[in-house]
Amino acid sequence: MDKQNGQWRLARRPVGAFQDGDFTWTVQPLPTLVDHEVLVRVVYLSLDPTNRVWASQDSYLPAVKLGDVMRGGGIGVVEESRNPAFAAGDTVQGLFGWQQYYVSNGKDLQKLPSLPVPLDAWSGLLGHIGLTAYFGLLEIGLPKAGETLVVSTAAGAVGSLVGQIGKIKGCRVVGLTGSDEKCEWIVKDLGYDAAINYKKENVADALKKQCPKGIDVYFDNVGGEILNEVLGQIALHGRIVCCGMISMYNATTPVPGPANIINLVSRRARMEGFIVLDYQARAEECFRELIGWWAAGKLKYRVDVSEGLETAPQAILRLFDGSNAGKLLVRVSPEPR
């Protein structure tokens, strides 16, 4: 076997945003497969806020070790298999890492079921993004028709699905995002009732205007000051889905929490975290419903593709400055026909 495997390895713990030198590019020959092993060619690498956490500290998964290939989720195609459960040509997903090929023992690999969706839907609609939006909103947020739902990173991969699912469930949906283009997209194309450009508008005032009866459900991807403003306007028995706190991931010193947390008491409100891994076992019911909505034109997704694995360290910065539009992916190799 004479294929070469290009890889990004974690060279040092990032301080603040990722910088040049945090990753090192290495090229290694692929090993010969032994029994039960499967060789995967990576097609799409998923770039997610949680990657920043994995690079610096133990969390729900241990931190990536220095010198190891950077951890990342992906979609790929089996090129060679010595495992009876997989055959060449199968499309698969797993934590393949930031590399062109992945050698699996066959246990850490999931075959993608044959469903009537394009391959990139596994990154932008289904997979961990879909599970996060679907179960986070419906099981933790418990939205009811007529309630007001606020979504941060409303044009992002998870947020854009959350807002649309909120509309399907009959909520008034208000999205926060960072550009006029994205504000327009979520209102005109995705059906949000209102959009707030948090970089230009006073968030507290805009929320007050758009949520006159208070905020019943907040799907939080950012934490920080926006979380504080939402807590200031949380409705009685409101629920905050703690999906992520991207505003804190690059922090080099502890970021104070929201002073308005005191409102949890008087408003009888709830904040609750969750991790998508807890819902893997229920993926089928989620994907069936998401595909149904997508096929009916009620649920749209958008992917933002960076071409070539070499672009990954630069591309991921766009998650943190808010310049991505839709699910951020790296195309590592061509889609299979």
Question: How many whole angstroms separate alpha carbon 299 and alpha carbon 311?
Answer: 29
User: Restricting to residues 276-305, which ones interact with a copy of itself according to CB under 8 A?
Assistant: 278
- According to DSSP, residue 101 is labeled E
Q: Does 59 bind a copy of itself (CB under 8 A)?
A: yes
* H helix intervals, 60-184: 121-124, 127-135, 157-168, 180-184
Q: What is the dihedral of CA 278, 131, 316, 251, to 10 degrees?
A: -50
Which of 43, 47, 92, 271 lies at the binding interface for a copy of itself (CB under 8 A)? 271
Nearer to a copy of itself, 102 or 134 (CB): 134
Q: Does 268 bind a copy of itself (CB under 8 A)?
A: yes
Which of 208, 270, 300, 318 lies at the binding interface for a copy of itself (CB under 8 A)? 270
Q: How far is the CB of 229 from a copy of itself (least distance, A)?
A: 12
Which residue, 162, 213, 221, is CA-closest to 191? 162
Tokens of 153: 């990173």
Nearer to a copy of itself, 272 or 335 (CB): 272
Site string for a copy of itself, 203-242 (x = CB under 8 A): --------------------x----x-------------x
Q: Does 181 bind a copy of itself (CB under 8 A)?
A: no
Which of 11, 33, 168, 248 lies at the binding interface for a copy of itself (CB under 8 A)? 248
**235 Cβ partners below 8 Å, 6+ apart?**
148, 213, 214, 215, 216, 267, 269
Site string for a copy of itself, 18-57 (x = CB under 8 A): -----------------------------------x----
Question: How many whole angstroms separate alpha carbon 81 and alpha carbon 258?
Answer: 51
Tokens of 105: 């023992």
Compute how many residues bind a copy of itself; rule: CB under 8 A: 33
Nearer to a copy of itself, 137 or 315 (CB): 137
Cβ(38)–Cβ(80) under 8 Å?
A: yes
* H helix intervals, 136-240: 157-168, 180-184, 203-210, 224-232
Stretch that binds a copy of itself, among 5-13, 68-76, 143-151, 270-278 (CB under 8 A): 270-278
Tokens of 336: 């299979």
Q: Does 243 bind a copy of itself (CB under 8 A)?
A: yes
Which of 63, 142, 187, 275 lies at the binding interface for a copy of itself (CB under 8 A)? 275
**94 Cβ partners below 8 Å, 6+ apart?**
40, 73, 74, 76, 102, 104, 108, 109, 110
Stretch that binds a copy of itself, among 99-107, 210-218, 250-258, 323-331 (CB under 8 A): 250-258
Q: How far is the CB of 263 from a copy of itself (least distance, A)?
A: 8
Q: Does 261 bind a copy of itself (CB under 8 A)?
A: yes
Whole-angstrom Cα Rg for the chain: 20
Q: How far is the CB of 232 from a copy of itself (least distance, A)?
A: 10
Residues that bind a copy of itself (CB under 8 A): 53, 59-60, 223, 228, 242-245, 248, 254-275, 278
